[in-house]
Amino acid sequence: MKTVLITGGAGGIGAALCTGFAREGCAVAVHYHTKKEKAEQLAACLAETYGVKTAAVQADVSRSEDVKRLFDEADSALGSLDILVNNAGTAQQKLFTDITDADWDAMVGTNLSGVFYCCREALRRHMLPNHSGVILNISSMWGQVGASCEVHYSAVKAGVIGLTKALAKEVGLSGVRVNAIAPGVVMTEMMASFDSETLAALREETPLNALGTPGEIADAAVFLCSDRAKFITGQILGVNGGFII
């Protein structure tokens, strides 16, 4: 049985990721920052439904010391880590000139520094010593092409793509694969502020004339982390309905 740690596991895509890996028989560490009740309920549900070991673990991934504690607790509950999915993230829409220092620091901290801290901890503790492992980072299509009024978000998601490609080159000889998914428009809580007209326009801009679901991101993630994808590393998989081609 493989063990996976999924950051941001209590969110929309995160919960689907946790469910997808549990369905495959993986032990799942459900990370959360503030959504304690949701994470604990999800962990309990997955254990009961799929008969796998689970744990809900709290941390602010933008803080290096928190990430070390996160891994301490996950290791204690589930043992050696085989798969890391860096899914925790935050989004914000603002004019570039209105972005404050605090906005920038928060965006970089969670969406980029958090990925760095978690990758470093997973590699040092488990993957390099074991000469095996898989890291999957969740980026965004806006990290590939950029989005107006989301410059700071686009910048850090582009950083995740660069980190993914560079790290894959560095750790490949150590038996570790590193890939990323760049989702398109996916119907999660982050889309709650969009009105029906905006959502309809986004759907029309998508060649498949559909908006994504968390389950579709999870299906792609499970594949990329499985042995069926053992010759795939350093790749950025766009799961976006053709929105970005």
- Relative to beta strand 54-58, strand 83-86 is unpaired
The band of 192, judged by pLDDT with boundaries at 50, 70 and 90, is low
Asked whether the predicted pLDDT for residue 52 surpasses 70, the reply is yes
* Percent of the chain whose predicted confidence (pLDDT) is above 90: 93
Mean pLDDT of all residues in 79-85: 98
Tell me the whole-structure pTM to 2 decimals: 0.96
Is the pLDDT higher at 202 or at 177?
A: 177
- Provide the annotated active-site residues: 153
Mean pLDDT of all residues in 28-50: 98
The CA dihedral of 58, 103, 111, 61, to the nearest 10 degrees, is -20
Asked whether the predicted pLDDT for residue 229 surpasses 80, the reply is yes
Q: Give Cα separations from 236 to 58, 61, 95, 229 (angstroms).
A: 28, 22, 28, 13
Tokens of 71: 């891994």
Tokens of 196: 């029906």
Asked whether the predicted pLDDT for residue 173 surpasses 70, the reply is yes
Q: Give Cα separations from 212 to 51, 136, 140, 182, 192 (angstroms).
A: 29, 19, 13, 12, 14
Task: Specify the DSSP class assigned to residue 109.
Answer: I
